[in-house]
């Protein structure tokens, strides 16, 4: 069941430590994933190819509203996380409260931070 992939930040810290001990390369992808589309699918599949363990951060509802405006998100964070977790290429999903991914990057310290093609090095923390 895909909801088993949805973890708290504390749980993920332990998973990342164990993966590192096994010599695995950790990849973090993140986004709102509000109304999933083919670009999201391609992004996550490409992110998976960058390492051994793919963790996806999903923005919490308040963060999506701050980023996208009133009327968003369309789907609540729990449903967006479950949709993302359903992908075979995704190992774990975490819902994070911040508007920026920087605190999540700091907490998990992935080997790779994967972003979609609509971002540049200047716009990624």
Q: What is the CATH number of domain 2-123?
A: 3.40.50.620
Residue with tokens 């930040």: 9
* 1-11 mean pLDDT: 90
Return the pLDDT at 119: 47
Distances (CA, A) of 51 to 7, 34, 38, 116: 19, 25, 21, 16
- Note the pLDDT tens digit of each residue in 20-46: 999 999 999 999 999 999 999 999 999
- Phi-psi bin for 64: left (phi > 0), alpha (psi -120 to 50), beta? alpha
Per-domain boundaries in the chain: 2-123
Strand ranges for 32-103 from DSSP E:
53-59, 92-96
Q: Flag whether pLDDT at 124 surpasses 50.
A: no
- Note the pLDDT tens digit of each residue in 65-105: 999 999 999 999 999 999 999 999 999 999 999 999 999 99
Return the pLDDT at 116: 77
Return the pLDDT at 117: 61
Q: Look up residue 4 and give its two tokens.
A: 């088993």
Q: Flag whether pLDDT at 125 surpasses 80.
A: no
Count of Cβ atoms closer than 10 Å to residue 4 Cβ: 8
């Amino acid at each position: 069941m895909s909801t088993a992939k949805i973890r708290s930040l504390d749980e993920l810290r332990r998973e990342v430590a164990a993966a590192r001990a096994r010599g695995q390369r950790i990849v973090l992808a993140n986004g709102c994933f509000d109304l999933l589309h083919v670009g999201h699918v391609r992004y996550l599949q490409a992110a998976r190819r960058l390492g051994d363990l793919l963790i996806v951060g999903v923005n919490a509802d308040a963060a999506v509203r701050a980023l996208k405006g009133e009327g968003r998100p369309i789907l609540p964070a729990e449903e967006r996380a479950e949709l993302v977790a359903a992908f075979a290429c995704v190992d774990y999903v975490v819902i994070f409260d911040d508007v920026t991914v920087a605190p999540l990057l700091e907490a998990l310290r992935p080997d790779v931070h994967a972003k979609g093609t609509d971002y540049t090095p200047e716009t990624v923390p």
